Structure 1
């Protein structure tokens, strides 16, 4: 009972501070069968706030971005506000895009686990972090060329972002069509298709997959992964994961994201914390339509780097886990 009460605090933060749920709104709680208890808490909290609350469940998908049943997609499109605690992400789906286009506000929790409602990663000042996210987003919005390096010299990656729009996800979804996946609060930008070049060492996490304990290098040519160092277990995990999709576009680089949650931590077993830890970056590969890319794939994977040095148009914006805005 005590644990349930502790979990209700971040549930309330999400509905009040992040979603700004209002009396009478059509509120959809969308939980797969692995997250029924969390879904029930959101449904109860929604009812307590006077929202017209609908609770739908479905069998877990098999991977991020896998399309949802038609009845779920229709309900999402009709909702004013949605919370989706699920094993795999609903974000990179046509159903989510149609719902956003129709004006639904969405907070989604891919890789959802009860631990994230207990470890403090949702107990942050989302409004304060939103200002930081907005400032970094503006730099990306105006930027043209990104360079990523690391102190050990293993990373040397060039990304072309000319003409691309930043996609901030600050945890605050008060306006129609906005989305965010707290505790992964971030800003992201999509590279110009098939232009990313160079090598990057992945030493943080594979999402989905978990914390990287055996760092490995990957090489991009013309915006695609062409080489993975699979001599260790984590590189081999990624190589096999990508091959399992049987989709050439799963190797395409579609996102550069910056983790901006000061209370998220890699290695707690929560995917959203793995890519949300402040001072890290992640490269998204595969499906990129939600970031403004034209590349479609059967899934989306994020690769996290712990201590990057990131420059935009020659100016360092991130080094030693500190932003220079």
Structure 2
């Protein structure tokens, strides 16, 4: 009972602060069968706030970005606001894209676990962090070239973001069509297709998967991963994970994301925290349509780097976990 009461506080905060849910709005609670208890709490909290609350559940998908049943897609498009505690992300789907285009506000929790409602990561000051997200997004909007390095020299990656729009996800979805996956506060941008070149050492996390304990070196050529060092356990996992999609586009680089939540921590077993930890970056591969890329794939995977040095047009904007914009 005490644990349930503790979880209801962040549930209420999500509806009040992140979604600004209003009495009479149509709130869709979308939970797969692995997350029924969390879905029920959102349903009760929505009803308490006077929203017309609809609770739908479905069988968990098999991977991030897998399309949803048509009846779910139709309900999403009709809703004013959506909360989606699910095992796999609804973000990289046509259903989500259509719902956003129709004006639905969406908070989604891919890799959802009850632990994230108890570990404090959702207690962050969303309004304050939104200022950091905004400043960094403005730099990416104006930027042309990005270089990502590491102190040891093993990571050295370049990409072109000319003309691409930043996609901020600050946890605040007050305007129609906005989306965010708290506790992962971030901003992201899609590189120009086939522009990413160089080597990156993944030493933070593989999402889906978890914390990386044996860093994995990967090499990009013309925007695609062409080599994965599979000598260690995590490298083997990554190589097998990508191969399991049986989709050549899963190897394409489609996102550069910046984790911006100071209360997130890699290794708690919560995917949203793995890619949301402040001062990290993640390289998204696979489906990139939600970031403005033309590349479509059967899934989306994020590869997290813990201590990157990031330059935009020759100016350092991230080093030693400090954002300088």
TM-score normalised per structure 1: 1.00
Residue 246 (structure 1) shift: 0.5
Q: Which residue of 1 aligns with 2:19?
A: 19
2:14 and 2:229 map into 1 onto residues whose CA distance is: 40
Q: Does 1:35 align with 2:35?
A: yes
Counterparts of 1:120-199 in structure 2, within 5 Å, are: 120-199=120-199
1:216 and 1:174 map into 2 onto residues whose CA distance is: 39
Greater than 3 Å deviation, 4+ residue runs: none
Residue 265 (structure 1) shift: 0.2
Q: Which residue of 2 aligns with 1:323?
A: 323
Residue 216 (structure 1) shift: 1.3
1:125 and 1:205 map into 2 onto residues whose CA distance is: 25
- Cα deviation 1:54-83 (Å, max 9, x = unaligned): 000000000000000000000000000000
2:152 and 2:235 map into 1 onto residues whose CA distance is: 19
1:258 and 1:64 map into 2 onto residues whose CA distance is: 19
1:199 and 1:262 map into 2 onto residues whose CA distance is: 27
- Cα deviation 1:102-121 (Å, max 9, x = unaligned): 00000000000000000000
SS of 2:38's equivalent in the other structure is helix
1:125 and 1:267 map into 2 onto residues whose CA distance is: 22
- Cα deviation 1:249-280 (Å, max 9, x = unaligned): 00000000000000000000000000000000
1:195 and 1:188 map into 2 onto residues whose CA distance is: 16
What is the CA RMSD across the aligned residues, in angstroms? 0.3
Residue 146 (structure 1) shift: 0.4
Q: Does 1:294 align with 2:294?
A: yes
2:319 and 2:177 map into 1 onto residues whose CA distance is: 33
SS of 2:307's equivalent in the other structure is coil
- Cα deviation 1:24-50 (Å, max 9, x = unaligned): 000000000000000000000000000
Residue 189 (structure 1) shift: 0.1
1:179 and 1:216 map into 2 onto residues whose CA distance is: 31
- Cα deviation 1:152-183 (Å, max 9, x = unaligned): 11000001000000000000000000000000
- Cα deviation 1:226-249 (Å, max 9, x = unaligned): 000000010110000000000000
- Cα deviation 1:85-138 (Å, max 9, x = unaligned): 000000000000000000000000000000000000000110000010000000
2:197 and 2:160 map into 1 onto residues whose CA distance is: 9
SS of 1:236's equivalent in the other structure is helix
Q: Does 1:109 align with 2:73?
A: no
TM-score normalised per structure 2: 1.00
In structure 1, list runs of 5 or more residues that go unmatched.
Answer: none
Q: How many residue pairs end up in the alignment? A: 325
Q: Which residue of 1 aligns with 2:57?
A: 57
Q: Which residue of 2 aligns with 1:206?
A: 206
